Amino acid sequence: MIRPRRNTDVPVLTAALRAVHEQRGYPSVWPADPTAFVSAQGEAWVAVYEGRAAGQVLLTSLPEPAPAWAVPLLGPEPLLEVKRLFVHPAAQGHGLARALLHHAWQQAQARGARTVLQVNESSLPAVRLYEQAGWTLAGRTRAAWTDPDGTHPLVRVYVAPRL
């Protein structure tokens, strides 16, 4: 089941993010304020598994001005970005990430928007998910964030399919 995120979900999701970070390396750098990372601005939904919030996805507007990687993608329709997509490792393998991604895409479509996302190129399971879901590689760029080694990782930029 996918539903809007509630304030009461944030502690559970923060714990899920910790497990994802420790077992899967996302995010590549543990945030100074993980609660703020989970509850970032935007519209958020959670996947419920065994009665608990097990993962989330966030749909946000791009910052103004648009980042350089997004400029070639700008067009007449709004551009929304999928962010903070993760599922607790114990709940993975049940299609929750795919369901969350699809839900965010549907919400963007309902608003007449195109959907984009960035993913660390080394996150192969996430890359497979996006490509299997029909998202198109639009380019590669250096991330705005730094990895633990101080480098800006290479990220892939994907664009969602259109209806």
pLDDT, position 64: 87
* CATH code at 2-159: 3.40.630.30
Q: Which of 147, 35, 8, 81 is nearest to 73 (CA)?
A: 81
**Is the model's pLDDT at 16 over the cut of 80?**
yes
Structure tokens at 26: 């996302």
pLDDT, position 98: 97
pLDDT, position 11: 97
The whole-number average pLDDT for the span 78-93 is 96
Q: Give me the residue spans of the domains in the chain.
A: 2-159
Give dist(CA 56, CA 17) in Å, integer: 10
Sorted by sequence, the CB contacts under 8 Å of residue 161 that are 6+ apart come out as 134, 135, 136
Q: Which of 61, 101, 98 is nearest to 81 (CA)?
A: 61
Structure tokens at 138: 């639009």
pLDDT band at 93 (very low <50, low <70, confident <90, very high): very high
